[in-house]
């Protein structure tokens, strides 16, 4: 039984000895409102009560308790309340390089790379209970690191066995559009103009915006903002101050970082850092 089912404040768990996995839960999602966003890592979570609206890339649907959601690195998504109905969830965020070793069942897994999973959600009771069990083991202060590590390997081996045959088809490459994403990734800590992106890819403004959104399911500006939030998360995990992160990552000031971070993660930088 989860102990924080009535908690409004998000709860984060991480351990420096298990750097490949992070966990999050919230017991009352009625005040949780996410902007469309993506992560650099693989995400899997469980709806533990109620129902919510699940946005994934271009799909939109209501999901309810018992549903397991899955998001590949870079997949644009959001889960939000429906008409102020109560709902709760927990999430696991996993390094795709570590997960590749599970997928390929050997030390060469990281070299072969992570294979995206086609399924965006499932009603599998086995996976649902597995997410909850792993979350509870990870957050249990009485469990040692070895037990938690073994539990993580066991669960994601089960995910691979259950869903591994359903691999997603790689998106068709548009070299010029991907060049824009690479430009943003390299320069997100400073101000970037639309004409800078156009020059980097030799594209017109109208075509760039249209093609970029078709490829990444967000506008160039949204992609830039999301990249800055990802950087802020990394810096917070490494112990940097919120003020320093705001100055480094392209936000106009600390208040701007606070607002954008909360829109993307439904938590303040301080809550995430703690």
**22-61: pLDDT as tens digits:** 999 988 888 888 888 999 999 999 999 999 999 999 899 9
Q: What is the pLDDT of residues 229-270, one digit of tens each?
A: 999 999 999 899 999 998 888 888 899 999 999 989 888 999
Task: Identify the domain boundary among 120, 135, 163.
Answer: 163
Whole-number Å distance between alpha carbons of 156 and 126 = 12
Tell whether the model's pLDDT for residue 16 goes beyond 70: yes
Q: Tell me the CA end-to-end span of the chain in Å, nearest whole number.
A: 24
Cβ-count burial 149-169 (b if 16+ within 10 Å, e if not) = bebbeebbebbbebbeeeeee
Sequence-ordered list of residues with C-beta below 8 angstroms from that of 43, at least 6 positions apart, any chain: 69, 70, 71, 77, 91, 92, 93, 94
User: What's 236's domain CATH number?
Assistant: 1.10.10.60
Task: Identify the domain boundary among 141, 163, 185.
Answer: 163
| Residue range of the domain that includes 189 | 175-273
Whole-number Å distance between alpha carbons of 259 and 269 = 9
Indicate if 64 and 99 belong to the same structural domain: yes
Indicate if 23 and 120 belong to the same structural domain: yes
Q: Count how many domains the chain has.
A: 2
pTM here is 0.79
Whole-number Å distance between alpha carbons of 215 and 131 = 30
Indicate if 18 and 132 belong to the same structural domain: yes
């Amino acid at each position: 039984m989860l102990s924080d089912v009535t908690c409004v404040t998000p709860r984060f768990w991480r351990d420096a000895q298990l750097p490949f996995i992070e966990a999050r839960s919230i017991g009352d999602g009625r005040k949780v409102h996410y902007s469309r966003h993506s992560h650099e890592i693989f995400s899997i979570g469980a709806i533990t009560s109620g129902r919510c609206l699940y946005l994934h890339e271009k799909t939109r649907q209501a999901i309810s308790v018992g549903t397991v959601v899955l998001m590949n690195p870079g997949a644009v998504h959001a889960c939000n309340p429906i008409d102020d109905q109560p709902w709760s969830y927990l999430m696991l965020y996993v390094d795709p390089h570590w997960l590749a070793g599970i997928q390929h069942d050997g030390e060469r897994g990281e070299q072969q790379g992570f294979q995206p999973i086609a399924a965006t959600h499932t009603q599998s009771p086995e996976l649902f209970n597995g997410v909850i069990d792993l979350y509870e083991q990870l957050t249990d202060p009485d469990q040692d690191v070895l037990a938690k590590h073994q539990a993580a390997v066991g669960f994601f081996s089960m995910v691979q066995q259950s869903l591994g045959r359903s691999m997603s088809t790689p998106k068709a490459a548009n070299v010029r559009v991907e060049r824009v994403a690479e430009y943003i990734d390299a320069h997100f800590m400073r101000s970037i103009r639309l004409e800078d992106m156009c020059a980097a890819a030799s594209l017109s403004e109208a075509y760039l915006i249209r093609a970029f959104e078709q490829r990444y399911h967000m506008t160039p500006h949204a992609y830039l903002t999301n990249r800055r939030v990802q950087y802020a998360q990394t810096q917070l995990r490494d112990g940097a101050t919120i003020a320093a992160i705001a100055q480094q990552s392209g936000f106009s000031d600390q208040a701007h970082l606070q607002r954008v971070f909360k829109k993307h993660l439904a938590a303040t930088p301080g809550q995430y850092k703690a």
